[in-house]
Amino acid sequence: MNTFVARQPIFDRDMNVFGYELLFRSGFKNVFDGSDADQATSSVINNSFFTTGMPTMTGGKKAFINFTRDIILREYATLLPKDSAVIELLENIEPEPDIIDACRRLRDSGYTLALDDFVYDPKYEPLLELAHIVKVDFMISDLAERKKMADRFLPRGIKLLAEKVETLAEFEQAKEMGYSYFQGYFFSKPTIVTGTTIPESKIAKLSLLQEVSRMPFDFNRVESVVKRDVSFSYKLLKMVNSSAFGLRQEVRSIKQALVLLGEKNVRKWASLVTMACMGDDKPAELVLSSVIRGKFFENMAPLVGFGGREQDMFLLGLFSLIDAITDQPMTSILSEIPLVDDVKQVLLGSLPGRLSDTYDTLLAYEGADWDRFITLGNEIKLDESKVPPVYTEAIEWGHEIMAPVTG
């Protein structure tokens, strides 16, 4: 059975990643029946923990996994490592005696329990006595309800997770109320969008991108730019000597590193390191998400009719969050970045067509908007079964590649 698995980061109060919720779907149908949900949960456990491995899917962070009633009762959770798995009980699970007993055994064994999309009702008190985390949906709750949840549960030692947090204001509001964890798209939207230009320090970083975009490619000119910036030199040597490139000999020369990487990989490295430098004041997850998206798009290129344009697809994904990273309008940023015209136009939302449709399709997969993914995938004649392994590979590559870039 094909299993789609996406993930969404969960942050702590300092905007560090605490874990990821693994979001799944069992197949190509637009709706689940009960057995599909059970099977999908079983598959995501198998694929994420036993086949792909948690270091790949979550980078060593906590994995929040939705559990249905039947999967709880079958005690599949005991197959998971208690230090990295968070057992998330779906909101439609009733507090039956068998469920309470199963959850008590999990808690006594050291597992972390979370209640998903929680709306208070006295009947849930037996589950609340066992829960470590309660998730509050900020999309459907008003300010008074969010505050009431904090007043009710925080004195009991239950941590609150604000989910579907869409703005920085909601994040700050939840922090002030005492919420511990935060989930949503607030981190991927610009905090402040102004009409000013990119700061000079960040424009200087773009000089590397501009140099590697020159045709014909000149290793001597690129070497000159890299040597003028200590951080670039350090990051280049650290990356080229990392396991990500698998070179057999230690490289100590800037020129040698560039030549060994080759023109294509130097362009990719320049994009990555520029993105990382421009995101120094942003959550690391934002840059990591950009890098994973870039690799995802690149590897999907031949599967969506863009074979031969892998580099353009990589940059399309990589720079899709650049407005959030720089807190500048996309129009201002793209005037400073050397991208081909159709990639720029898709990022600006002004170019309908196959590239734009492909962009929307892959974003739908990444965001676990499965219905939209299936609909758009059908329109571009995408074989959906090929997407999950490509996405998983991109996650693994992103975690591996970003350590030497940001270190």
Mean pLDDT over 217-225 rounds to: 89
Whole-angstrom Cα distance, residue 227 to residue 217? 17
Higher pLDDT, 18 or 188: 18
270/139 same-domain check: no
The CATH number linked to 76 is 3.20.20.450
174 residue type, one letter: A
146/275 same-domain check: no
Is the pLDDT score of 276 beyond 80? no
The residues that bridge with 32 in the sheet, in sequence order, are none
Of 188, 221, 239, the residue that ends a domain is 188
pLDDT score, position 75: 87
Whole-angstrom Cα distance, residue 192 to residue 170? 15
227/181 same-domain check: no
Q: How many residues does the structure list for the chain? A: 407
CB < 8 Å & 24+ apart, contacts of 308-316: 311/264, 311/267, 311/268, 312/339, 312/340, 312/342, 312/343, 314/268, 314/271, 315/271, 315/339, 315/343, 316/343, 316/346, 316/347, 316/355, 316/359
Of 17-31, 89-103, 312-326, 380-394, the least confident? 17-31
Of 188, 210, 241, the residue that ends a domain is 188
For the chain, give the longest Cα–Cα distance. 72
26 pLDDT tier (thresholds 50, 70, 90): low
248/364 same-domain check: yes
The residues that bridge with 113 in the sheet, in sequence order, are 87
Is the pLDDT score of 43 beyond 80? no
Is the pLDDT score of 22 beyond 90? no
Residue 312 domain flag? yes
* Number of domains making up the chain: 2
386/259 same-domain check: yes
- pLDDT tens-digit readout, 346-371: 999 988 899 999 999 999 999 888 88
63/118 same-domain check: yes
Whole-angstrom Cα distance, residue 360 to residue 249? 42
221/119 same-domain check: no
Of 188, 218, 241, the residue that ends a domain is 188
30 pLDDT tier (thresholds 50, 70, 90): very low
Are the beta carbons of 71 and 41 closer than 8 angstroms? yes
pLDDT score, position 191: 61
Higher pLDDT, 149 or 243: 149
Is the pLDDT score of 305 beyond 70? yes
251/129 same-domain check: no
Query: Which candidate, 109, 51, 53, 114, places its Cα nearest to that of 78?
Result: 109
pTM above 0.85, yes or no: no
Are the beta carbons of 257 and 240 closer than 8 angstroms? yes
Query: Which candidate, 261, 259, 240, places its Cα nearest to that of 251?
Result: 240
**For residue 202, what are the contacts with CB-CB under 8 A and spacing of at least 6?**
277, 278, 326
pLDDT score, position 50: 46
31 pLDDT tier (thresholds 50, 70, 90): very low
217/168 same-domain check: no
Mean pLDDT over 319-335 rounds to: 84
Mean pLDDT over 47-54 rounds to: 52
Residue 193 domain flag? no
Residue 382 domain flag? yes
Higher pLDDT, 403 or 150: 150
Residue 334 domain flag? yes
The CATH number linked to 233 is 1.10.3210
257/356 same-domain check: yes
Higher pLDDT, 109 or 68: 109
182/234 same-domain check: no
Residue 300 domain flag? yes
91/155 same-domain check: yes
Mean pLDDT over 319-326 rounds to: 86
Query: Which candidate, 241, 242, 245, places its Cα nearest to that of 264?
Result: 245
- pLDDT tens-digit readout, 143-199: 999 999 999 999 999 999 999 999 888 999 999 999 999 999 888 776 654 444 555
Residue 195 domain flag? no
Is the pLDDT score of 238 beyond 70? yes
Residue 303 domain flag? yes
pLDDT score, position 25: 65
Is the pLDDT score of 33 beyond 70? no
- Count of other CB atoms within 10 angstroms of residue 262: 12
- pLDDT tens-digit readout, 86-137: 999 999 999 999 999 999 999 999 999 999 999 999 999 999 999 999 999 9
pLDDT score, position 341: 93
Domain range enclosing 170:
4-188
Q: In Å, how far from its chain's centre is CA 131?
A: 26
For β-strands 4-11 and 181-184, DSSP reports them as: antiparallel
252 pLDDT tier (thresholds 50, 70, 90): confident
Residue 194 domain flag? no
